[in-house]
Chains A and B, each alone.
Chain A
Amino acid sequence: MPPLFDYAAQAGSAIKAFAEASSDLLIQPTLRLGVTGLARSGKTVFTTALIHHLVEGHALPAFEPAHAGRLRRARLVPQPDDDVPRFPFEENFTALTEARRWPGSTDRISQFRLAIEYERAGGWRSGPATLMLDVVDYPGEWLLDLALVDQSYVAWSRATIAGTRRAGRAEIAAPWLAVMAELDPAAPLDEVVAERAANAFKAYLAALRAGAESVATTPPGRFLMPGDLAGSPMLTFAPLDRLEEVQAPGSLGALMERRFEAYKSKVVEPFFREHFQRVDRQIVLVDVLSAVDSGPAALAELEEALDAVLLAFRIGRNSLLSRFFAPRAERIMFAATKADHLHQSSHDRLDALLRLLVSRAMRRTEAAGARVGTVALASVRATRETTVHDGGEVLRAVSGTPEAGEHVGDEIFDGLSEAAVFPGELPADPQAVLDGAVPPGSFRFPRFRPPPVRSDALGRPGHLPQIRLDRAMQFLIGDRLT
């Protein structure tokens, strides 16, 4: 991208940031919470549960404003950006409580604003105040696109092709590699050929995501979740082999390169600028357990993906100047989701494993001056703790309703009956999991259906149980509600 445009874009976002910061200070305090996570890490459920607890005003012991009784009420109000769909909270909540199924995977961006009315706690001023909480939900597949911003087409092609050589991918990649082998980047451009290459590439990405071991997706994310861009020429490109450093004009390679650049500048960068660069607080949801379930290779992939994502964020302590012109996220919480799949006595180990996984990102974040916290949480708690006495053995298990088709050993569930599941014991030393010192098959974390929650006789919605969601809320927004 020519530097002139870059500066223009930066100046634009600085002006926007300035307007927002002044309104935050002078007119209406506003907090932008970034909910970040790869696909299937539980962003939508986290967001739904967050709204549910705040709006219903539940007792949240570790969330100080709620515990001290200072929260007057919270309600959903019209969001600031009119061009973004509203977060379908009611739909998701009904799905969770009535149909007892998890909300489907998010396929487009959505936003909501929550007005939290509270009683001030400290300082000279007292009395009621309002804080606006803005949260954005988006498909996790799009997140890894952030790593593309700094890559050129040639570098990206090489990296993606190198990625096919990883263990276990050869078979999946074979059809696409066969198509690509026939293409010559220097050949004159032909729309039909380009489309064939792009389709083969898309099929490869989809197969990769469906694979058993995959926890992160390979960019570009819009190939899997196109949103409203389906069929656009910006999504019709693919990596090519045998690329020169500079593409001849009018060649297939040049066409692909142009589209790749267009994808970056028209799709990735606006998304990034609009929704990521201006968050004040950030929670990174990590589905550690699924990765543990799939083995050390998946864990390594997860670590790499998280690191790439966090590099793209602006993180650190705000100075007076940066608050106005280039705000940074000053608090980051890493959360291992789905902690309810483990007995609570193992939650500490899950937390330790998470810390090991994100240690690289954590160090960098701390060095930048941001505050870092970790937690093992369950936004919606689907199980309860059970001790199983099997003959002489005592197993600390969790019980709930596993989803239909899930299996543990040779037991296959129908999605109706309850079961107590002992998922295996996480080792005390988290390094053992990464080193592969744990024999395969030691863990099995089946997915559970959401807990049965009934509305009472007055028709008031039930209470979705949670684990440590209140702690996360205290870390992320508690200090702004004083």
Chain B
Amino acid sequence: MTNPQRPRAFRIPSADQTPPEAATAEAPPPPRPEVRFVDEPYEIVDAADGVAVPVAPKRRAPWLSILFSALGGLVTIAVGLSIERLITDLFATAPWLGFVALALLGIAAVALTALVAREALGVWRERKIEALRERALAALSTRDHTAAQGVVQELRGFYTGRPALAAGIRRLDAVGDAILDVDDRLALAEGELLSPLDRQAKAAIAQAASQVSAVTALSPRAIVDVAFVVFSAARLLRRIAAIYGGRPGLLGFLRLARAALAHLTVTGGMAVGEGMLHQVLGLGLAARVSAKLGEGVLNGLMTARFGLAALAVCRPLPFVRVSPPTVNDVAGQLFRSSEDRA
């Protein structure tokens, strides 16, 4: 900034060299020979702004869910009716049996309420995280300051209770409502609040991947591998969700698993392009040494992939400035260790 460049203008020689009639007094001086012009592509401004607004699919009338709700209602009525019959029968047989059944019913009702509440809370939290991510994306694409501020505030509220993030929250509060760019504001929140969590999640994925590959390499039967892979994928998903602040119950878990699998199928193609060469090379080496070892590495890779998809689904913000972790980041040690083992 000490020596700013002065504003300057350079005439561009026009393609047709016919001088206009008016300019007879003096011809414009020819440009100095050492000046060279390079036109940039006309679309560069649009390109620099990044991708256009994502197109949301058209929502359809939810007939399927209406069908299931109706059927569910019927089943509930049937169950209620049979319980009611049972209790009347018991009262007819012996009144004290009837009272015991009534008490049991009450306890069951309380437990059911608690369960439903927990499930609902879990699903609600998942939805909130999803909505937060979508709002952040929308704010980024339309440069909406108010929305960005809202996202950061909500994210802050989400992590208030965590002692490990207290310092980050304090630093975030110091910035307050200063007028910041949308991406700057979100990137700041990402750096202060999410990067410690990202590290934890990456460590969890790496650990799960190496566990899976070790168990696969050592296990005597294929069925054991499959069971362990599924089990550890489920455990990983739960763990990542917990790291980012979700507490999925069964329903929330199913939702998340579906989202992660969908994400996996979408990003699968991309991942092949990016690091497959490395992976196949490593796998080739390991597989040549032992088929079982190769299988282990492959299963570990799959777990890592799934873990990354789970991370993308559970994270409350899109990746703003931080680059998303790759398979190499979380499963790189598999090749190294397999090569060591080899």
Contact = CB atoms under 8 A, between A and B. Distances in A.
Nearest to A119: B58
B52 interface: yes
B38 interface: yes
A474 B7 contact: no
A371 B40 CA distance: 35
A62 B49 contact: yes
A471 B36 contact: no
Contacts of A366: 145-146, 149, 177
Interface in B26-48: 28, 32, 34-40, 42, 44-46, 48
Contacts of A439: 4
B64 interface: no
B144 interface: yes
Contact of B52 (A61, A362, A363): A61
B147 interface: yes
Interface in B45-97: 45-46, 48-49, 52-53, 55-56, 58-59, 61
A444 interface: yes
A370 B150 CA distance: 12
B143 interface: yes
Nearest to A406: B9
Contact of B145 (A62, A345, A373, A387): A373
Interface in A235-270: none
Contacts of B58: 121-122, 126
A388 B6 contact: no
B181 interface: yes
Contacts of A422: 5, 7-10
Secondary structure call for the B interface: loop
Interface string A345-389: 101100110011001001100100011111100000100111111
Interface residues of B, number: 47
Contacts of B59: 121-123
A399, A423, A446: residue with the most chain B Cβ atoms closer than 10 Å: A399
A344 B43 CA distance: 11
B277 interface: no
Interface in A433-454: 438-439, 441-444, 446
B45 A344 contact: yes
B6 A62 contact: no
13 contacts: A62-B52, A371-B144, A374-B145, A388-B35, A393-B5, A399-B37, A409-B8, A414-B20, A421-B7, A442-B7, A465-B42, A475-B142, A475-B144
Given A385-B44, A419-B12, A424-B4, 15 more contacts: A121-B56, A121-B58, A122-B56, A363-B179, A371-B146, A373-B145, A393-B5, A402-B9, A417-B11, A418-B12, A420-B37, A428-B1, A444-B7, A468-B45, A471-B49
Interface of B: 1, 4-12, 14, 20, 22-23, 28, 32, 34-40, 42, 44-46, 48-49, 52-53, 55-56, 58-59, 61, 141-147, 149, 177, 179, 181
Interface of A: 61-64, 67-68, 121-124, 126, 344-345, 347-348, 351-352, 355-356, 359, 362-363, 366, 370-375, 381, 384-391, 393, 395, 397, 399, 402, 408-409, 411, 413-414, 416-425, 427-428, 432, 438-439, 441-444, 446, 465, 467-468, 471, 474-475, 478
